[in-house]
Amino acid sequence: MMPSAPTLPAGVSQESLLQALRPLCWGAADILRAYARGEQPPHGFAKALSVDHGGEGPVSAADLAVNQWLLDGLQNAFPSAGWTLLSEETAKEQLTEGVPLAAEWLWILDPLDGTKDFLQGTGEYAVHLALVHQQRPVVGVVLLPEAEELWFGVVGDGTWCENREAVRSEVRFSDRLALSDLTLVASRSHRDQRLEQLIEALQLGGSKAVGSVGCKVATILRGETDLYVSLSGKSAPKDWDMAAPEAVLLAAGGAFTHADGRALLYNTGDVRQAGCLIASHGKAHTSLCEQSAEAMALIDPGFPV
């Protein structure tokens, strides 16, 4: 059953929110693509200085520019909305360890997810925006600048992809059900021995390496792959890595949980999303979780899934 969404904050309609997000997202895409190519970015942002010339390089410049563009844009579009804005770039100033933000409605932003891929030129980087209500995501936006895909997910109303002309294409989950047929989408860089052992234990049908969590989840939404596994402890992904990808997957009817079935929670006072997290098209999710939990009990008995 598709989860139902609470109403948006007072004075904010779904249509007004989408109308504001579209130009903000495509503007962010243009900014990132310019920095990725060493070109002059639009909207008045300065060209990146190289580290040799006293700058921090294109990643930091792009991060900060898109962060400012999105935060200013949301604030200007909805000056009286009753929400708080949090991004990866502002987290150090805003957050106190162990203390959740006093926010019923919270935007969680990642202006550039997939920095290694951004630098390496693979094109597999993304922008994440998620609106969280009482620790659970209700709206998610995953922007893939190089693919020119803008994924919107509204929990209770579905998920779709738009191009720059706002022409929609629908989610196309695969029909694969048996674990031996499922295709895993995995990281190129964040893989350790435990994850390799877990993948081997699940005996899946194949795997595909893709950067950025947003890009990974998009492959599930397109039907190219079926599941993604995150397995980590202290160096775990953060709220801004997972909230928007979870929202678009959840709104599409997929699932994104801990291996023991627990929901991911946001704004808990700990931004780390640690444990064995499984994202999937939902059709074999229970079996995936059960077998993953059993396998992890043998691979690393003390690991909290």
199-221 pLDDT, tens digit per residue, is 999 999 999 999 999 999 999 99
Among residues 278, 238, 231, 236, the alpha carbon closest in space to that of 259 is found at 278
Do 92 and 53 share a structural domain? yes
Which of 118, 138, 170 is a domain's end point? 170
Q: Is the pLDDT of residue 15 over 60?
A: yes
Residue 49 lies in a domain: yes
E strand map for 115-156:
126-133, 136-144, 149-154
Do 243 and 121 share a structural domain? no
How many structural domains compose the chain? 2
What is the rounded average pLDDT of the residues 39-45?
94
Residue 8 lies in a domain: no
- The DSSP output letter for 13 is -
Do 164 and 34 share a structural domain? yes
Residue 290, C-beta contacts closer than 8 angstroms, at least 6 positions apart = none
Q: For residues 69 and 42, is the Cβ–Cβ distance under 8 A?
A: no
Q: For residues 186 and 207, is the Cβ–Cβ distance under 8 A?
A: yes
Give the pLDDT of residue 189.
66
- The DSSP output letter for 238 is B
Q: For residues 235 and 278, is the Cβ–Cβ distance under 8 A?
A: no
Q: Is the pLDDT of residue 58 over 90?
A: no
What is the rounded average pLDDT of the residues 150-157?
96
Do 295 and 224 share a structural domain? yes
Do 166 and 32 share a structural domain? yes
Q: Tell me the C-alpha distance between 280 and 228, whole Å.
A: 6
What is the rounded average pLDDT of the residues 89-93?
93
Which of 136, 170, 204 is a domain's end point? 170
Do 266 and 157 share a structural domain? no
Do 187 and 164 share a structural domain? no
Give the pLDDT of residue 1.
46
Give the pLDDT of residue 222.
98
Residue 91 lies in a domain: yes
Residue 3 lies in a domain: no
Q: Is the pLDDT of residue 52 over 50?
A: no
Residue 25 lies in a domain: yes
Q: Tell me the C-alpha distance between 217 and 210, whole Å.
A: 10
Q: Which residue has the higher pLDDT, 4 or 88?
A: 88
Do 183 and 161 share a structural domain? no
Do 205 and 80 share a structural domain? no
Q: Give the CATH number, domain containing residue 141.
A: 3.30.540.10
20-34 pLDDT, tens digit per residue, is 999 999 999 999 999
Give the pLDDT of residue 59.
83
Q: For residues 109 and 88, is the Cβ–Cβ distance under 8 A?
A: yes
Q: Give the CATH number, domain containing residue 281.
A: 3.40.190.80
Full residue range of the structural domain in which residue 108 is found? 14-170
Give the pLDDT of residue 233.
77
Angle between helices 193-202 and 285-299 (to 10 degrees): 130
Do 62 and 111 share a structural domain? yes
Residue 243 lies in a domain: yes
Give the pLDDT of residue 49.
63
Q: Tell me the C-alpha distance between 280 and 14, whole Å.
A: 26
Do 278 and 207 share a structural domain? yes
What is the rounded average pLDDT of the residues 272-288?
97
Residue 305 lies in a domain: no
Q: Tell me the C-alpha distance between 215 and 147, whole Å.
A: 10
Q: Rounded to a whole number, what is the largest CA-CA distance in the chain?
A: 55
Q: Is the pLDDT of residue 4 over 60?
A: no
What does each C-alpha distance from 128 to 28, 158, 215, 240, 280 come to in angstroms? Answer: 11, 17, 10, 7, 18
What is the rounded average pLDDT of the residues 86-94?
94
Q: Is the pLDDT of residue 247 over 80?
A: yes
Residue 78, phi then psi, degrees to nearest 5: -135, 70
Which of 149, 170, 191 is a domain's end point? 170
103-135 pLDDT, tens digit per residue, is 999 999 999 999 989 988 999 999 999 999 999
Q: Tell me the C-alpha distance between 304 and 297, whole Å.
A: 9
What is the rounded average pLDDT of the residues 231-243?
91
Residue 5 lies in a domain: no
What is the rounded average pLDDT of the residues 85-102?
95
Do 89 and 161 share a structural domain? yes
Q: pTM for this structure?
A: 0.94
Beta strands 126-133 and 105-113, pairing class: antiparallel
